[in-house]
Structure 1
Amino acid sequence: MFSTLDVELHPGFGLGAFELGASLWNIIDMLRQMQHLFPHVDIKYDPDTSSTTPIILHLRPHLDLLFSGKHQRLRTICVRRLRDTSPPVTLRYKDAVLSSADEVLRRVAISRIFGPTYPGDDLRYPGAWFSFEEDGIGEGRKGVHHEDRSQEVKRVLISQKEVDTGQGDALGEVAECPVMNGDISSAILKVHDGVTLHFHPSTSAPVHFQIGTTTAQDLAVTLGPPLRVHYKEDDRMTIHSSLQEESDTGYFYNYFQHGMDFYISGNTHVVKKIILQSNVPGSPLFQVYKRCNWEIEGKPEDDEDDTPPRKRFYDRFETISHFLSPREPPPSMLLDRTNDEENLRLPSATTRLYGYDGIILEVSEASQVLSVTLF
């Protein structure tokens, strides 16, 4: 016996519990709690450009969720196979049932509910698009076609209204919207200093966390309590530490929802390290942390330079390494994050750690920087 998927269409805003602009991390976290409705979830992306590739979550058999490549925000929702009854899907709009196991969605019903629109193979309205093809894209508004009033709708697509008015790229980034409020929009790193966080909405004041100055209490007041406090430091790294560092067994504040960790001194309770995560598909820590849109800021060329150079999370390791040090990359250490997980198997489980003055990069086999640590 299958549960009926009952969802309401909100043109330009979302479908049921899925809000346009929501992060990939939040959506997958929500799906973990909805396994009775979505027992099978496929994640699709381009492995050759996994740092910036758009990601599709296929919730069999009815839903495809498209996420933008850089900020990993829900861009487009596609409802398809409306007549598939395993499980059945009911699609509503306001007080009307558009489609169900007993109600076939046809062209005439769309026109009656949503009103007139431009002629074409598909019916397009701001924030919603009704297609009569199972797959592919019709000719849209390019011409006038013979229209069959009884023509059955096969797919429904929901996107922000900017896409449908020609103001946005269908595979581009998502315009700022209320679901983003409180999330980090960008994190600007400065070596030997700390990180400046910018938040949504864009009118929010930035916040600066400084290594050696910011306290655990400062973090809790500004970011709220961490999702987890981790007291056990990895003992395998103490062999590389000084005697003073070994005696100070600190703890981590884990902000998975911001893609950040703070390592805090157990003696002074002051931040000693800041770790930011790239959330690259296929990497060992994918979906443990939300993507943090970090940028490493260099020194300005002169006193009048108000746009200092920066390197971003999607730049290749070689580019960032040369930015940090023009010499050859330093020797690296191998890290296999699956060693502690007996049942976890990944095609690219091994990463490399490269240490520079005040900063450490964790790098994949494909030269993508998976995380950055300031100390």
Structure 2
Amino acid sequence: MFEIGTSLWNVLDTLRSLQHFFPQVDVKYDPDSPTTPIILHLRPHLDLLFSGHHQRLHTISIKKLRDPNPPLTLTYKTSVLSSSEDALKRVGVSRMFGPTYPGDDLRYPGVSFSFEEESRGAAPKSPTIPDDRHQEVKRIIISQKNLDGEPRDALDEVKECPAMAGDLSRAVVKIHEGVTLQFYPSGSEPVHVILGSTTAQDLTVDLGPPLRVHYKEDDRMTIHSRSNQAEVDEDGDYFYNYQQHGIDFLVSGSTHTVKKVVIHSNVPGTPLFQRYKRCPWDIEGRPEDDEDESPPRKRFYERVEEIHHFLAPGEAPPSMILNRTDDEDGLRLPSSTTRLFGYDGIILEATESGQVVSVMLF
């Protein structure tokens, strides 16, 4: 069920529905890095490594092959490689896969077999005899194929593959205009969502039905409105939630056109983590002239300070503090408090460490 290139959001969603198989999932990441690789540890056999930028399944590590709780059986094509009763040994790998590349491990395109319990450098290696035919395999590493047999760097992004088909590859935000959505496979026709123009029907035609629709009931921001009148025109406004793309659209209840776009970064350790898939967004600036085909952009992994200088150089933006766990008694998260930075036509929500959690375009 774990395929290289699948998104973190999809894998965690699958694991949540299979709690009887995977009762405990450990999520490991660097809380200070906006592009931290993420490891899911599924005891006792599996470690799943996801890339830092696009949160795609990069590497699968299988270990404790003979741990019987639960028992693990590995097959290749129609042959059994390993089970809790039958150990996988060097000679068995050689018979099954043939000649290998030089090195301590047995390396083949897309898979390698290691005779150490942990990765190199984690513990002192015990002396082994390279030609020991009965040396037992301790770990199996699965990743995308490299034709030269070399293992892929864990910090590399996953190359485009069939598992990404239909997923969002990039969202280009244009302030006061809207957002352009680009999808896999590369070369697919982009979808343009224009504020005040694109309708709910357009969204359904271009993106399919949303996973959720809910009516806007939270009016706490009304107190910050510059207008003295209540925002009566918001009665009946509703959200189209596309969690699988990491985007919400607020649709007017009267005109049924898009009023706001909310884009999510799926930052680990924050209250919104895993509610939405990471949307890899860019904020596009004004081109220098009519012939400028590559206007400046700021991307989702850049710190809020850098984006601030891009949006409003020399100005200190107004900000407010938001704690999304106020309604969740007993919930403690590393980054529960965020700060909202307001600009003309766009609001950034960022953690105390400067990671942008979401972008709202209006």
Q: Provide the C-alpha distance between the structure 1 equivalents of 2:270 and 2:316, rounded to a whole number of angstroms.
A: 22
Amino acid at match of 1:162: N
1:212 to partner: Cα distance? 0.4
Task: Report if aligned partners of 1:163, 1:169 keep a CA contact under 8 Å in 2.
Answer: no
Superposition TM-score, scaled by structure 2 size: 0.94
Q: Are 1:41 and 2:25 matched, yes or no?
A: yes
Gaps of 5+ in 2: 122-128
Q: Provide the C-alpha distance between the structure 2 equivalents of 1:272 and 1:265, rounded to a whole number of angstroms.
A: 6
| 3-state SS of paired residue (1:222) | helix
The root-mean-square deviation of aligned C-alpha atoms, in Å, is: 1.6
1:235 to partner: Cα distance? 1.6
| Residue 259 of structure 2, aligned match among 269, 272, 279 | 272
| 3-state SS of paired residue (2:11) | helix
| Residue 187 of structure 1, aligned match among 166, 171, 195 | 171
Match of 1:9 in 2: none
Q: Are 1:202 and 2:186 matched, yes or no?
A: yes
1:46 to partner: Cα distance? 1.1
Match of 1:315 in 2: 302
1:301 to partner: Cα distance? 1.1
Match of 1:141 in 2: none
1:165 to partner: Cα distance? 3.9
| Residue 341 of structure 1, aligned match among 328, 335, 338 | 328
1:164 to partner: Cα distance? 5.7
Q: Provide the C-alpha distance between the structure 2 equivalents of 1:264 and 1:93, rounded to a whole number of angstroms.
A: 50
Q: Provide the C-alpha distance between the structure 2 equivalents of 1:66 and 1:163, rounded to a whole number of angstroms.
A: 21
Match of 1:303 in 2: 290
Match of 1:101 in 2: 84
Q: Provide the C-alpha distance between the structure 1 equivalents of 2:255 and 2:149, rounded to a whole number of angstroms.
A: 55
- CA gap 1:317/1:333 in 2 versus in 1, 3 angstroms: same
1:244 to partner: Cα distance? 6.8
Gaps of 5+ in 1: 1-16, 139-144
Number of residue pairs aligned between Structure 1 and Structure 2: 353
Amino acid at match of 1:266: G
| C-alpha distance after superposition, 1:249-270 (max 9, x if no partner) | 2010010000000000011100
Task: Report if aligned partners of 1:163, 1:170 keep a CA contact under 8 Å in 2.
Answer: no
Match of 1:8 in 2: none
Amino acid at match of 2:102: P
Q: Provide the C-alpha distance between the structure 2 equivalents of 1:119 and 1:165, rounded to a whole number of angstroms.
A: 9
Q: Are 1:87 and 2:70 matched, yes or no?
A: yes
Q: Are 1:153 and 2:140 matched, yes or no?
A: no
Task: Report if aligned partners of 2:243, 2:275 keep a CA contact under 8 Å in 1.
Answer: yes
Match of 2:35 in 1: 52
Q: 1:130-279 to 2 correspondence within 5 Å? A: 130-137=113-120, 146-162=130-146, 165-166=149-150, 168-241=152-225, 242=227, 243=229, 245-249=231-235, 250-279=237-266
Amino acid at match of 2:242: Y
- CA gap 1:369/1:222 in 2 versus in 1, 3 angstroms: same
Amino acid at match of 1:64: D
Moved over 6 A (4+): none
Task: Report if aligned partners of 2:251, 2:258 keep a CA contact under 8 Å in 1.
Answer: yes
Amino acid at match of 1:245: E
Task: Report if aligned partners of 1:189, 1:295 keep a CA contact under 8 Å in 2.
Answer: yes
Match of 2:125 in 1: none
| C-alpha distance after superposition, 1:257-307 (max 9, x if no partner) | 000000000111000000100111111100100000000000111222111
Amino acid at match of 2:89: R
Task: Report if aligned partners of 1:260, 1:276 keep a CA contact under 8 Å in 2.
Answer: yes
- CA gap 1:26/1:82 in 2 versus in 1, 3 angstroms: same
Match of 1:65 in 2: 48
| C-alpha distance after superposition, 1:306-357 (max 9, x if no partner) | 1100000111111101111113322211111011222422132111111110
Task: Report if aligned partners of 1:238, 1:246 keep a CA contact under 8 Å in 2.
Answer: no
Task: Report if aligned partners of 2:66, 2:85 keep a CA contact under 8 Å in 1.
Answer: no
Which sits farther off after the overlay, 230-239 or 352-361? Answer: 230-239
Match of 1:332 in 2: 319
Q: Provide the C-alpha distance between the structure 2 equivalents of 1:198 and 1:348, rounded to a whole number of angstroms.
A: 30
Q: Provide the C-alpha distance between the structure 1 equivalents of 2:148 and 2:77, rounded to a whole number of angstroms.
A: 21
| C-alpha distance after superposition, 1:12-46 (max 9, x if no partner) | xxxxx100000000000000111111111101111
Q: Provide the C-alpha distance between the structure 2 equivalents of 1:319 and 1:187, rounded to a whole number of angstroms.
A: 19
Match of 1:10 in 2: none
